[in-house]
């Protein structure tokens, strides 16, 4: 384990928290965890808010644990260390006819991070969340206990750790059940729509025939116009992983300067995007382009400038989705928002996680350039709307929700709390555990 780096300023992906934290590194699963009583094991820190930072405490970087332990090409079971990324899993397994059963919109998330946040993807309506495919994992507690966790062994810690925000201990390795595929190319159709009601109709229609569904929405347009994308694995194209990451990167000077995301740039981009995707289009894409479009531009978070950005992601029950129309109106009136706005529906498949964000309804995710108190007040107003609708806020994307909202969002919170490792904490946990 490396030496400690005092007052490390590593932030989460949103760059709004600016923590002061001590950092150390794990290189082997057998490394001894630091004795600090306020620690958190982290991966690539692609969470947008403060679940992956530990202001005033210690973070332990586990990205050095990036080895595969086993891969059964016949059954599609893969076991890997905590720091292996979803990109790395895909590059290994796709040529052999397997793919990730669930993946979020970036491949740079570590496998342990995907477990800790019970991530979801474009196929939630047919597959559920990432936790539905976790078979077992190793969990190390600060008292020295080493637990093998599955649905049949230490099942309580299994349920608490999936979606458990990294607070139940250190995940050493994970065994995951993969999804069989015959082709790696994606057959995609885009359909433009003019209103939020059209989006709902497209979702209901598309989920009967397509495995993957997601929508881009113009968050500054009160009517709720957008572009709906639906796709399936193609019937031809072979099993080329085609997952090489881009060498293009947003220069550091952009991140240190004036943000490129503002009302004018968002309006121009959104109008151009609508024009480019008008009507219906059918085409074939690589797995990389369909699932991870933003990964083609490294350090894209720098476009928000030195102040960073907040992301707001919520889910609201299908019967109360009219609240989202009000949310769009408030976002437009506040002249805030960005071109990164995603809308999709979630299905009824239940996650094994006690704290899973995933549940039936409609989920909305929007990036907001950090404009200080003005932005935080908008986030508070949106949070109140979601609570009125009986919805929930996603901790992996959050940097502002209240303790009361966290409790309302997760009915099994009290049950989960008893499994939190007393030596583990995070900025998020300190904020909401009051």
How far apart are alpha carbons 213 and 126 in whole angstroms?
Answer: 10
Rounded alpha-carbon distances, angstroms, from residue 434 to 73, 312, 428, 431:
47, 22, 11, 7
Helix (H, G, I), strand (E, B) or coil at 274: helix
Give yes or no for a contact between 120 and 129, defined as CB atoms under 8 angstroms apart. Answer: yes
pLDDT at 10: 66
Give yes or no for a contact between 49 and 12, defined as CB atoms under 8 angstroms apart. Answer: yes
381, with CB counted inside 10 A (0-12, 13-18, 19+), is middle
Q: Give 258 or 336, the one with higher predicted confidence.
A: 336
- For 289-320, the pLDDT digits (tens) are 999 999 988 898 998 888 999 999 999 998 88
Sequence-distant (≥ 6) Cβ neighbours of residue 161 within 8 angstroms: 115, 116, 137, 139, 149, 168, 169, 171, 419
175 membership: H or E segment, kind and range: strand 170-177
- For 71-92, the pLDDT digits (tens) are 999 999 999 999 999 999 999 9
**Per-residue confidence band for 3, with pLDDT thresholds at 50, 70 and 90:** very low
How far apart are alpha carbons 157 and 164 in whole angstroms?
Answer: 9
How far apart are alpha carbons 324 and 199 in whole angstroms?
Answer: 12
Q: Give 341 or 118, the one with higher predicted confidence.
A: 118
Asked whether residue 216 carries a pLDDT value surpassing 50, the answer given is yes
pLDDT at 241: 61
Q: Give 321 or 159, the one with higher predicted confidence.
A: 159
Torsion from C-alpha of 81, 85, 91, 96, nearest 10 degrees: 50
Give yes or no for a contact between 205 and 258, defined as CB atoms under 8 angstroms apart. Answer: no
Average pLDDT over residues 352-381: 95
Give yes or no for a contact between 211 and 123, defined as CB atoms under 8 angstroms apart. Answer: yes
pLDDT at 255: 64
Sequence-distant (≥ 6) Cβ neighbours of residue 205 within 8 angstroms: none
Residue 337, token pair as written in the block? 């928002």
Average pLDDT over residues 152-172: 98
**Per-residue confidence band for 208, with pLDDT thresholds at 50, 70 and 90:** very high
434, with CB counted inside 10 A (0-12, 13-18, 19+), is exposed
Average pLDDT over residues 7-27: 81
Average pLDDT over residues 25-31: 90
Helix (H, G, I), strand (E, B) or coil at 81: strand
Domain edges within the chain: 186-409
pLDDT at 7: 35
pLDDT at 219: 84
pLDDT at 11: 82
pLDDT at 4: 34
Helix (H, G, I), strand (E, B) or coil at 227: strand
Asked whether residue 69 carries a pLDDT value surpassing 50, the answer given is yes
Asked whether residue 1 carries a pLDDT value surpassing 80, the answer given is no
**Per-residue confidence band for 338, with pLDDT thresholds at 50, 70 and 90:** confident
pLDDT at 321: 84
CA angle 80, 81, 82 (to 5 degrees): 120
**Per-residue confidence band for 6, with pLDDT thresholds at 50, 70 and 90:** very low
Average pLDDT, the chain: 91
Average pLDDT over residues 90-116: 96
pLDDT at 367: 93
Task: Please say whether the structural domain 186-409 has been given the CATH code 3.30.70.2520.
Answer: yes
């Amino acid at each position: 384990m490396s030496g400690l780096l005092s007052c490390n300023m590593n932030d989460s992906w949103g760059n709004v928290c600016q923590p002061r934290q001590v950092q150390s590194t794990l290189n082997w699963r057998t490394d001894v965890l630091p004795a600090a009583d306020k620690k958190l094991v982290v991966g690539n820190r692609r969470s947008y808010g403060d679940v992956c930072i530990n202001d005033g405490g210690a973070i332990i970087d586990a990205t050095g644990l990036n080895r595969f332990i086993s891969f059964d090409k016949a059954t599609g079971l893969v076991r890997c260390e905590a720091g292996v990324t979803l990109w790395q899993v895909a590059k290994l397994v796709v040529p052999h006819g397997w793919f990730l059963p669930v993946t979020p919109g970036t491949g740079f998330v570590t496998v342990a991070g995907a477990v800790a946040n019970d991530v979801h993807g474009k196929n939630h309506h047919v597959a559920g969340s990432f936790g539905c495919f976790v078979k077992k994992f190793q969990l190390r507690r600060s008292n020295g206990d080493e637990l093998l966790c599955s649905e049949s062994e230490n099942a309580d810690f299994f349920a608490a750790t999936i979606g458990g925000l990294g607070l139940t201990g250190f995940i050493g390795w994970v065994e995951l059940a993969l999804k069989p595929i015959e082709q790696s190319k994606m057959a995609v159709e885009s359909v433009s729509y003019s209103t939020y009601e059209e989006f709902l109709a497209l979702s209901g229609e598309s989920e009967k025939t397509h495995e993957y569904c997601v929508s881009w929405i113009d968050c500054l347009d009160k009517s709720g116009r957008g572009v709906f994308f639906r796709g399936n694995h193609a019937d031809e194209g072979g099993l080329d992983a085609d997952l090489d990451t881009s060498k293009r990167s947003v220069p550091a000077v952009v991140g240190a300067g004036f943000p490129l995301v503002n009302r004018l740039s968002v309006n121009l981009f959104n109008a151009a995007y609508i024009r480019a995707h008008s009507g219906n289009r059918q085409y074939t894409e690589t797995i990389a382009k369909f699932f991870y479009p933003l990964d083609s531009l490294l350090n894209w978070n720098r476009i928000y400038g030195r102040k960073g950005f907040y992301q707001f992601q919520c889910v609201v029950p299908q019967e109360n989705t009219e609240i989202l129309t009000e949310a769009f109106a408030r976002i437009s009136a506040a002249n805030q928002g960005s071109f990164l706005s995603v809308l999709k529906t979630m299905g009824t498949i239940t996650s094994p996680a006690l704290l899973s964000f995933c549940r039936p309804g409609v989920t909305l995710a929007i990036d907001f350039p950090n404009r200080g108190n003005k932005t935080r007040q908008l986030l508070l107003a949106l949070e109140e709307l979601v609570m009125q609708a009986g919805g929930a806020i996603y901790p992996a994307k959050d940097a502002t929700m209240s303790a009361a909202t966290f409790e309302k969002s997760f009915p099994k919170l009290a049950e989960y709390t008893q499994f939190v490792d007393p030596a583990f904490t995070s900025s998020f946990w300190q904020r909401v555990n009051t």
